Amino acid sequence: MFSSIPSLLLLAVGATARIYYAGVAESGGEFGVYSPTATPGTGLPGRFGVDYAFINESTVDVFVDQDKINLFRVAFLLERMCPLEYGLGNKFNETHFGFYKDAIDYITVTKGAYAILDPHNYMRYNNPSQQPGTGSVIGNTSDPNAATTIDFELFWYELAYRFKDNEKVIFGIMNEPHDMPTTLVLQNDQAAIDGIRKAGARQLIIAPGNGYTGGHAWCQSSQGDEPSANELYKIRDPINNTAIDIHEYLDYDFSGQHSICNQSAPANLACLTSWLKTYQLKAMITEFGGDNNTMCDQYIDQLIQYMDDNDEYIGWTAWAAGPLWGTSSPCCTDGRALGSLEPGSHASDGSPSLYYTVWLTAIQKMVPANLIRSGISSIYG
């Protein structure tokens, strides 16, 4: 269990549910590495602005100035930050880091919003050519090619040290660990927290579970291993500023690939919410989405309202915007090219994209009016 919450902070939080952070995921930093033969090194490092990119500044402006959000989740690849010739650790590709820092600084310094640093690697390193399946599981001692848990701690120490003075950064430990021992997810999460705090960084950390960190499966065995609920409560943060990172899609298999929404978030998240309450933990749902139909609008509304109604939840980001999606869709369309949540984008037939038919119609209206706009990122807002 986390360290005890100071009583004064508990009084400050109060009993009323409050979403502090709301916004969108920026997908694009993980692009450009696909290989049909799963060849390691494909697309690395890649051409910035062509093969991969982090944000479009003009659309960040739209999200902040017009849509009034305060949070962006910005994906990157470990293999670009820590090239294969270096290995995972505290030696970075400084050119690539510079591109990423420019994006984070635009969001946090220029626009005054918050940014989740998102290594989009599924708790794997060395071959992202067919994500989410390729690459060695970090910390897998039976794989001689795998980066170690210590390597992962060194990486997070270095990244956190570089951002420790930016109070609007949130450290997202890892995107969607899966098909690995849940005890190893815990071990790697703890190593990341240790590295971040050793670096002197005090900002909010969000820690994922196993099974693609799905909220619906939090209390269930996932990929044949024990539930995340059995292990993740053991995380320790010396300053008690870590929340749980959850993804929750609304289609029948929770994959975010299908256009029909038929999974009830209030029902599917009940066990997770009870677990959070038991261990006095908070959570953020950093991926969810839906198609442009009335049914999905209703299910998205239920999900966001559920977070509003339960003070275990402090924030969310919808999946996904990004500068390179074009007419392709990041989720929830059965492969139809309906565009993304990127402002100004459109579907392949020229019709309005998901920004107009999902974001503006179903999601943006649920952005709280009283989001925080200043101060260090925190579970306390």
User: What positions carry a catalytic annotation?
Assistant: 176, 287
The strand pairing partners of 333, in sequence order, are none
* Rounded distance between C-alpha atoms, residue 99 and residue 32, angstroms: 16
Structure tokens at 204: 């909010």
Give 149's contacts (C-beta < 8 A, 6+ positions apart).
Answer: 138, 139, 184, 187, 188, 191
Query: CA angle at residue 296 from 319 to 340, to 5 degrees?
Result: 35
* Rounded distance between C-alpha atoms, residue 42 and residue 277, angstroms: 44
Q: For 41, left (φ over 0), alpha (ψ -120 to 50), or beta? A: left
Residue 353 — φ and ψ, nearest 5°?
-80, 180
* Rounded distance between C-alpha atoms, residue 352 and residue 199, angstroms: 45
Which secondary-structure segment (H or E) carries 313? Answer: strand 313-321
Strand, coil or helix: 325: coil
- What single-letter amino acid sits at 111? K
Q: How many CB atoms lie within 10 A of CB 167?
A: 17
- Strand pairing category for 169-172 and 205-208: parallel
